[in-house]
Amino acid sequence: MLISGFSLDGERLPSPLPIWRATVRAETWQVIARGVARENGRLLSLWASDRRRGAAGQLVVSAAYVVREGLLWIDLPLAERAATYPDLLPCFPAAGRLQRAAADLLGVVAEDAADRRPWLDHGAWPKGYLPLRRDASEKSLGAAREVTDYPFVRVEGDGVHEIPVGPVHAGIIEPGHFRFSVVGEKVLRLEQRLGYKHKGIERRFGELPPDEGYRLAGRVSGDSTVAYAWAWCMALESVAGCEIARRACWLRALLLERERVANHLGDLGALGNDAAFAFGLAQFSRLREDWLRLSKEAFGHRLLMDCIVPGGVASDVDRAVADRLARQCDTIERAVQVLRQVYDEHSGLQDRFMTTGRVLPELAARLGLSGLAGRASGQAADLRCDQPWAPYDQLAVNIATQTGGDVAARVAVRFDEIFESLRLIRAILSRLGESGGAVCTDLRLPARAAFGAGWVEGWRGEVFVVLEWDGESGAHVIRRCHCHDPSWQNWPVLEHAVIGNIVPDFPLINKSFNLSYAGHDL
């Protein structure tokens, strides 16, 4: 097959999005990385797996690239003894932490990587324990090491001091550590340490029955439960080679757009609040609550957890409920229009928003900023537009972009996306009225090994899930599941966004990205 100018030996996965998988050797691994980088492709994810089975099989490191034609999943089998592979960091800055995580979980190491500090391993599990290896045993787990000090990069100089923040934060926020090096109140450098929430999700997938996995996927990052459940189910359906009912596609998109609106409403309120405009929080949090309550009535869950299931969706929407959902779009739209005007005209608020936490398009492109934050920095990528899978192929989604790259731009993208999602929801509801039929199809998982992948544009950015299925000789298990959150790409960029800003603006900048700790730490 010929993808993005590369002639590769591989297969196209049965998936609603164009996804190819190919196995390569170390030289090709590097050639592809350089080629994708040259053609302005992006590194979506990097992970490793243990495909050993007795004497057969190997440790494998994999990379997923976004290219013009779709997604390219590259496997590189590793030699057992060395378990090293060529470093992707020179081509893709986002690779750094992904490679460090792969080293912690499977002991595969990027050759020549300069930064070999552990990332997810904080010293709470025994030294040398590699949780995703087949031979990892839990026997020695009682003997936890002393939690290790993390060697942060020190900034030296006259008047420089450090401010350590976290892991427990002063608010209702997820845990993580931020180390600021400051002069006066100006930030010279921010270094993050994440991984506090690592709770072994990827291994857990292999321990749960395959039909339970979607529930765990829906709890990788609770604010993106729909995006994860859809991506996970898409991956399982791709393993089974099954297509889902048309009506189920419409309902999945309805759920995904409702999740997007819910999160944007919450963020816009919180962003007002972080700029000392409590009015914004009161207004938007009320709208969000109205939105969640109708979600509960219509779908049975305020955050829409477990509404997407393998093969389709858990429940249908009847005419009466559809009418209420459409009417709510009108109400919310009117309210958000008023609030946008208030935000735009409020000079104190705009003063805090504009030029704060700026990532200019050139830097965003170089660092691989993605998703919502990427679109606010001129990176015009939205899977719903670039690879419109069903039902987005019939919705003609308008992408929202800004070039300012500051808090104001990320606020503007959220406003624009709310209006676009409300339009999409009304369009979906009108199409639902025209069609009937089943909303869930039975999945038949194959009695052989198979690969599957799911790729969905969640509210924060692209959510990506890969599955390795084992159906051979009576087995019926997921051998490997890897979930990728767009926060992996964007956390390191936040470190750049803060440089030169004042410490009190950090909460505002951080909120404007609103990245997931849970989705990153897994």
Partner 1 sequence: MWRILGQITGNGIRSEAAPEFSDELRLEGERIQHALLAILGQALTIRQVDAGSCNGCELEINALNNPYYNIEGLGIKFVASPRHADLLLVTGPVARNMELALRRTYDATPGPKLVVAVGDCGCDGGLFGESYASCGRVANVIPVDVAVAGCPPEPIEILRGILTAVRRCRAGSA
User: Least distance in Å: CB of 120 to partner 1?
Assistant: 8
122 binds partner 1 (CB under 8 A): yes
Q: Is 26 exposed, middle or buried (0-12, 13-18, 19+ CB in 10 A)?
A: middle
Phi and psi of 73, rounded to 5°?
-105, 115
Stretch in the footprint of partner 1 (CB under 8 A) among 13-21, 36-44, 123-131, 407-415:
123-131
Angle at which helices 225-240 and 246-274 pack, to 10 degrees? Answer: 150
The residue from 339, 424, 439, 450 that contacts partner 1 (CB under 8 A) is: 339
Asked whether position 164 contacts partner 1 by CB under 8 A, the answer is: no
Q: Minimum CB separation from partner 1 for residue 361, in Å?
A: 29
**Where in 464-493 is the site for partner 1 (CB under 8 A)?**
none
CA angle 468, 472, 476 (to 5 degrees): 65
Is residue 516 near partner 1 by the rule CB under 8 A?
A: yes
Q: Does 286 bind partner 1 (CB under 8 A)?
A: yes
Is 124 among the residues that bind partner 1 (CB under 8 A)?
yes
Report the residue from 86, 96, 210, 266 that binds partner 1 according to the rule CB under 8 A: 266
Round to whole Å and give the CA distance between 201 and 73: 22
Q: Does 300 bind partner 1 (CB under 8 A)?
A: no
Can you spell out the DSSP letters for 225-244? Answer: HHHHHHHHHHHHHHHHT-PP
Per-residue binding string, partner 1, 208-237, x by CB under 8 A, is x---x--xx--xxxxx-x------------
Q: Quote the distance between the C-alpha of residue 23 and its chain's center.
A: 25
- Pinpoint the alpha helices (H) of 59-186: 95-106
Q: Is 324 in the site for partner 1 (CB under 8 A)?
A: no
- Say whether 56 sits in a helix, a strand or coil: strand
Minimum distance from residue 42 beta carbon to partner 1 (Å): 25
Tokens representing 9 are 């030996």
Q: Does residue 143 touch partner 1 according to CB under 8 A?
A: no
The type of residue at 275 is: A
The token pair that represents 161 in the structure block: 């001091």
Please say which residue, 26 or 124, places its beta carbon nearer to partner 1: 124
**Do residues 486 and 463 make contact, with C-beta atoms less than 8 angstroms apart?**
yes
Question: Closer to partner 1 at the Cβ: 341 or 355?
Answer: 341
Among 52, 117, 134, 203, binds partner 1 (CB under 8 A): 203
Does the protein bind partner 1 through residue 206 (CB under 8 A)? no
Quick check: 168 binds partner 1 (CB under 8 A)?
yes
CA dihedral sign of residues 2, 7, 8, 10 = positive
Residues 6+ apart with CB under 8 A from 511: 267, 270, 271, 274
Q: Is residue 117 within 8 Å of residue 96, measured between CB atoms?
A: no
How many whole angstroms separate alpha carbon 257 and alpha carbon 338?
21
The answer to whether 334 contacts partner 1 (rule: CB under 8 A) is no
Residue 141 touches partner 1, criterion: CB under 8 A: yes
Q: Which residues bind partner 1 (CB under 8 A)?
A: 120, 122, 124-125, 129, 131, 136, 138, 141, 144, 147, 167-168, 170-175, 195-201, 203-204, 207-208, 212, 215-216, 219-223, 225, 266, 279, 281-283, 285-286, 288-289, 292-293, 296, 302-303, 305, 338-339, 341-342, 345-346, 516-518, 521
